[in-house]
Structure 1
Amino acid sequence: MKKRGVGIALVIVVSLLVFIVSSHETGNEKYAFALPGGKMVFVSIDFTDDPENHKWNSIQEGINDAEEGDIVYVFAGIYPENIFINKSITLLGENATVDGGGALYTVTILANNVKIKNMEIAHGKKAGLYIGNYSHVTIENCDIYGNSEYGIFAFSSNGNTFLNCSLYNNQKGGAYFVLSDENSILNSEIDGGDWGIVFQNCSNCHIKNSFLLNHENKSINISGSNEIFVTNCTIYGSFCAIRLRASQNSVIDGCIIKQNIIGIRIDGSTSNTIKNCHIEENVGYGIYAGEYNGILSQNNVIHHNNIIDNGNNAYDEGSNAWNTHIGNYWDDYSGNDTNGDGIGDTPYNIPGGYAMDNNPLMYPIQSPPLFVWVDDDFTPSSPGWGNDQFNTIQEGVDAVLENGTVYVYNGSYDTTNSILIEKSLTLKGEGDVSLHSSSNGLFIQAENVNISGINIESAENGIKIVNSHDVIIKNCTSHGAHPMERLLGCI
């Protein structure tokens, strides 16, 4: 059984509660105290029921005693019951376990704005936790496991948040959302079972910063849904990491998808985006784009990904875009890059139809990056923004790895300060790059620097080189008070 490191925090909470309770003692009697949002109700398997002081030995009795806004505090122990929460309360546990013993649902939510924290929910038949037609439920720091079908089942339930939870050893799957919108699973782990997380006819849901592993079928199954966002997740050891079926406008961003049979499968889906992902070491396919009910996948955008060492890196029967201004890194691409812009000169062909990546990357995507692109037209929506794509030269220089390359697309770049170069690198302009500076244009304080293709207009020095060696400047123009200044032992 998994435990969470909340013991110290709970000791502090319980100590505070004991202090407040003791401050309300008269003789040998204790009275329940009021909190700003309501009263506190206590539950312990060691208690004898004491209605006057709101002390109970079952969770359901504590819930029944509570009113809207109250907190039901459950001390550690295993509580063999299935419970119904029919009012907006907080159920706060000391790693207490609710054991449904095979009941249909271990915990049933029958109210909006319910909060459950630091609890274990186990051994339901259909699900450990059921939310039907109620919304804005928060489940935090909970373990949900050992349920015969799903850990969580939500039907027509919107705006719920699941934070720092572990869902494991649930036979059919971790969580199943049907006709439910704006649900979020954050910083959680979903391990084992047939399915990980299923979205059926849902919209605007998020899975973020989570681990999904060891699923017999799909780790994330998105069916008939719209705007599902999977961000910064790690998915491995499953038959298929992510499947999009008859779904639209979803985004898979910044995920590590490796050592599955299939990485990502797109069936009869349109206008989805896959970007900034590492899709590696999947046995069958890295990405497979096929049909569903005779409808091919089309207009999906797949760019700025590492697609490496898969049985088959990609397969596309439909009409999808495998690049925008930038494509993907393919470990089996064999083309050349004659102009040094970090993009291959010939397309990468993708089997299955007529698909190709017209802008395959020459270097794998990594952080810090070995190759950086700068364009004054880039925005935060550009793939790789903040890692290897920027709209100022200084940001590109700061971000690139030592001995890496910063490639600057044509445009006009204005700065009030010098572009400071303090590492070995190559700064290469596309051919019509203009740098306008209110100070020095380029200020170089590093060895092994190569500059080319930059036209500089500056108030002071166009290029200033201090304490530097092996600096090469070619195909540049410089207009300023002093086009170039070399100081202190420069060669």
Structure 2
Amino acid sequence: MPKTITTPTLFLALCIYLALFTIIKNDRIVYASSQTIKVPDDYLTIQEAVNNAKYGDIIFVRAGVYYENIVIDKSIILIGENQENTIINGTYKNHVISIMAPDVTITGFTVCNSYPNISWLCGIFIMQFGNITLYNNKIISNGIGVQAYFSSRNKIHHNLISANDIGVQLINSSNNFIYRNVISRNSLGMDIYLNSTGNMIYENTIFDNYRAIDLSFHSSNNFFYHNNFIKNSYYNVYAGTINLWNYGNKGNYWEDYRGWDLNKDGVGDIPYNIGEGNIDRYPLMGKFSAFDVAFKGETYSVAIISNSTILNFAFKADIKCRTKTITFNTSLNGFAGFSKVIIPKELMKNIHTVLINGNEVNATPIDIADAKNVHLYFDYSNNCSIEIIYFELLDIYHQLLNDYSGLNSAYSLLVEKFNAFNETLNNLIEEYSNVQKQLQDINLRHQNQAENLKGLTYIFAVLTAVLIIAIIYLSKAAYRK
């Protein structure tokens, strides 16, 4: 007789199967038991590794030159040993990397030679799918460096995108994040085209391109801020649509801006007119730079806006002395220099000392409305070294003083309330004494009235007795007659 499979057994098997392969969470797929595949250890080519990978696997590619045109059709993580020496060369045949799946990450490669004379062939081509992450890559000598085609929610950051016909192109692609890239020496740095809206483009350096950015065919409401536009030979922006060139009070640096900064906050006092109704209302007076600082397992971003070249940025935390120090050098590009430094308060709660060439200067905090960051502005006339110091013990001391002042204020208030209570109590005692006196007066009057009533009672009794005697006497007299 054949064995029957019960419903509970089927249910348990299904649960185990699902647990082994996928876990669905927050609309993102997390793949269980992912494997790391190494190229060329496990497979000689990257494409072979992709073909044999499962969803969620990691493919690690050792340094070398790989002459391939790769198609990625599953969600994987592709990691190069280092971007300088791990090179994917498309040999002028097709897209170097074509991404045909969501949730793909590519990092650590040089991606080159799709075909520079055919502008639609790409270094990295993203076709329709989203949630793609491209970071820490060199994407050079292609028709288009990166193209997102009908693709959204991608992150493109910390890449060098250079010497392409078009650096980055978005076609009907929205809600992408493009930040901290160097986009240089392209015929066109960025082409935002055909209904591409809501993209966040920030903290990029866009320089030495023939044209920096084109926006056309209903591509509007994209945000641009903290970008540097430098030495783009024909124009910085061609804007056939209306876009947003500041995010709050964060604008961009335009090398050809001719405004001034009378209030010394690092932001120009007059807007920068881009054209066709596009205006940067908060143009920066110097280039924007961002530096990542690692401290206690967290990464913080320190920003510097300066008309000087920033060199040798460093962060140091002395756990024993409980101090934190930011140091950097400045190299003047003109006659006078300034730096505006923006530091997260979670990293340095306050700034106690600023030294320029070892001499303490007054660096007044500005933009105090920013609850998350400390803003400092200082200027100088020569190349110099800057030290920004936070003393945690001094901060604790000031906090204790504030707490003591608060306690003292609370004590004074308590004494004031006690005195008021004491005064109220005295008033109550006085009122009680008055009431006692009034009660005594009432009692005395009551006693007097009682005595008077007692006398009247005696008189009434005597009169009653006399009346009775008179009645008896008169009655007897009448009887005798």
TM-score of the aligned structures, taking structure 2 as reference length: 0.54
Q: Which residue number in structure 1 is paired with residue 79 of structure 2? A: 162
Report the CA distance shift for 1:299/1:401 in structure 2 as closer, same or farther (over 3 A): farther
Q: 8 Å contact 1:408–1:433 — kept in the other structure?
A: no
In the aligned structure 1, how far is the partner of 2:140 from the partner of 2:342? 40
Report the CA distance shift for 1:304/1:247 in structure 2 as closer, same or farther (over 3 A): same
Q: Which residue number in structure 1 is paired with residue 326 of structure 2? A: 398
What amino acid sits opposite 1:158 in the alignment?
Answer: S
Q: 8 Å contact 1:241–1:263 — kept in the other structure?
A: yes
Report the CA distance shift for 1:332/1:367 in structure 2 as closer, same or farther (over 3 A): same
Q: Which residue number in structure 1 is paired with residue 284 of structure 2? A: 361
Corresponding residue to 2:220 among 298, 306, 309:
298
Moved more, 412-421 or 325-334: 412-421
For the pair 1:388 / 2:304, whether they are aligned, the reply is yes
For the pair 1:427 / 2:367, whether they are aligned, the reply is no
Corresponding residue to 1:319 among 242, 247, 269:
242
User: How many residues end up aligned between the 2 structures?
Assistant: 303
For the pair 1:248 / 2:174, whether they are aligned, the reply is yes
Question: Identity percentage over the alignment?
Answer: 20
User: Shift of residue 400 of structure 1?
Assistant: 6.4
Q: Secondary structure at the match of 2:287?
A: coil
Q: CA offsets, 1:228-278, max 9 Å, x none?
A: 111110011110111111111211111111001011111121111111111
Structure 1: segments with no counterpart, 5+ residues: 1-87, 89-110, 370-379, 436-446, 450-456, 462-478, 480-491
For the pair 1:214 / 2:147, whether they are aligned, the reply is no
Report the CA distance shift for 1:334/1:115 in structure 2 as closer, same or farther (over 3 A): same
Q: CA offsets, 1:312-331, max 9 Å, x none?
A: 11121122111111111111
Q: CA offsets, 1:390-432, max 9 Å, x none?
A: xxxx9998366567444789xx999988712233556234487
Q: CA offsets, 1:17-63, max 9 Å, x none?
A: xxxxxxxxxxxxxxxxxxxxxxxxxxxxxxxxxxxxxxxxxxxxxxx
The 5 A counterparts of 1:132-151 are 134-142=54-62, 143=64, 145-147=66-68, 151=69
User: Shift of residue 367 of structure 1?
Assistant: 6.3
Report the CA distance shift for 1:297/1:433 in structure 2 as closer, same or farther (over 3 A): closer
Report the CA distance shift for 1:460/1:229 in structure 2 as closer, same or farther (over 3 A): closer
What amino acid sits opposite 1:154 in the alignment?
Answer: I
Report the CA distance shift for 1:416/1:186 in structure 2 as closer, same or farther (over 3 A): closer
In the aligned structure 1, how far is the partner of 2:347 from the partner of 2:113? 53
Q: 8 Å contact 1:114–1:136 — kept in the other structure?
A: no
Q: 8 Å contact 2:302–2:342 — kept in the other structure?
A: no
In the aligned structure 2, how far is the partner of 1:459 from the partner of 1:114? 48
User: Shift of residue 137 of structure 1?
Assistant: 3.3
User: Shift of residue 335 of structure 1?
Assistant: 0.9
In the aligned structure 2, how far is the partner of 1:458 from the partner of 1:226? 45
In the aligned structure 2, how far is the partner of 1:210 from the partner of 1:244? 18
Structure 2: segments with no counterpart, 5+ residues: 1-20, 22-32, 116-121, 293-297, 306-316, 318-322, 331-336, 372-383, 387-393, 399-404, 406-481
Q: 8 Å contact 2:197–2:222 — kept in the other structure?
A: yes
What amino acid sits opposite 2:241 in the alignment?
Answer: G
In the aligned structure 1, how far is the partner of 2:291 from the partner of 2:36? 43
User: Shift of residue 114 of structure 1?
Assistant: 6.7
Q: 8 Å contact 2:156–2:177 — kept in the other structure?
A: yes
What amino acid sits opposite 2:255 in the alignment?
Answer: D
**Which structure dedicates a bigger proportion of its chain to strand?**
1
In the aligned structure 1, how far is the partner of 2:328 from the partner of 2:280? 25
Corresponding residue to 1:279 among 173, 191, 206:
206
In the aligned structure 1, how far is the partner of 2:77 from the partner of 2:342? 44
Higher Cα radius of gyration? 2
The 5 A counterparts of 1:462-477 are none
In the aligned structure 1, how far is the partner of 2:273 from the partner of 2:202? 19
In the aligned structure 1, how far is the partner of 2:71 from the partner of 2:367? 57
Q: 8 Å contact 1:255–1:277 — kept in the other structure?
A: yes
Q: CA offsets, 1:299-319, max 9 Å, x none?
A: 211110111111211121122
Q: 8 Å contact 1:341–1:407 — kept in the other structure?
A: no
Q: 8 Å contact 2:36–2:60 — kept in the other structure?
A: no
Q: Which residue number in structure 2 is paired with residue 340 of structure 1? A: 264
Q: 8 Å contact 2:252–2:280 — kept in the other structure?
A: yes
Report the CA distance shift for 1:231/1:396 in structure 2 as closer, same or farther (over 3 A): farther
What amino acid sits opposite 2:55 in the alignment?
Answer: S
What amino acid sits opposite 1:339 in the alignment?
Answer: N
Q: 8 Å contact 2:215–2:240 — kept in the other structure?
A: yes
Corresponding residue to 2:112 among 191, 201, 223:
191
Q: 8 Å contact 1:408–1:430 — kept in the other structure?
A: no
Q: Secondary structure at the match of 2:221?
A: strand
In the aligned structure 2, how far is the partner of 1:196 from the partner of 1:223? 13
User: Shift of residue 191 of structure 1?
Assistant: 1.3
Q: 8 Å contact 1:405–1:426 — kept in the other structure?
A: no
What amino acid sits opposite 1:312 in the alignment?
Answer: Y
User: Shift of residue 203 of structure 1?
Assistant: 1.1
What amino acid sits opposite 1:203 in the alignment?
Answer: G
Q: Highest relative contact order (Cα 8 Å, sep 6+), 1 or 2?
A: 2
In the aligned structure 2, how far is the partner of 1:281 from the partner of 1:416? 38
User: Shift of residue 116 of structure 1?
Assistant: 3.2
Q: 8 Å contact 1:406–1:427 — kept in the other structure?
A: no
Aligned-residue CA RMSD in angstroms? 4.3
Q: Which residue number in structure 1 is paired with residue 442 of structure 2? A: none
Q: CA offsets, 1:181-232, max 9 Å, x none?
A: 11111111101113100001111111111101001x2110011111111111
Q: CA offsets, 1:88-125, max 9 Å, x none?
A: 9xxxxxxxxxxxxxxxxxxxxxx985723235856x9x
Q: Secondary structure at the match of 2:356?
A: coil
In the aligned structure 1, how far is the partner of 2:302 from the partner of 2:224? 19
For the pair 1:118 / 2:40, whether they are aligned, the reply is yes
Q: 8 Å contact 1:408–1:429 — kept in the other structure?
A: no
In the aligned structure 1, how far is the partner of 2:325 from the partner of 2:339? 9
In the aligned structure 1, how far is the partner of 2:97 from the partner of 2:395? 59
Q: Secondary structure at the match of 1:365?
A: strand
Q: CA offsets, 1:424-455, max 9 Å, x none?
A: 556234487899xxxxxxxxxxx999xxxxxx
TM-score of the aligned structures, taking structure 1 as reference length: 0.53
Q: Secondary structure at the match of 2:326?
A: helix
The 5 A counterparts of 1:366-377 are 366=289
Q: Secondary structure at the match of 1:386?
A: strand
The 5 A counterparts of 1:31-70 are none
Q: Which residue number in structure 1 is paired with residue 7 of structure 2? A: none
Q: Secondary structure at the match of 1:319?
A: coil
In the aligned structure 2, how far is the partner of 1:460 from the partner of 1:130? 59
Q: Secondary structure at the match of 1:173?
A: coil
In the aligned structure 2, how far is the partner of 1:210 from the partner of 1:414? 29
Q: Which residue number in structure 1 is paired with residue 98 of structure 2? A: 176
Q: 8 Å contact 1:196–1:219 — kept in the other structure?
A: yes
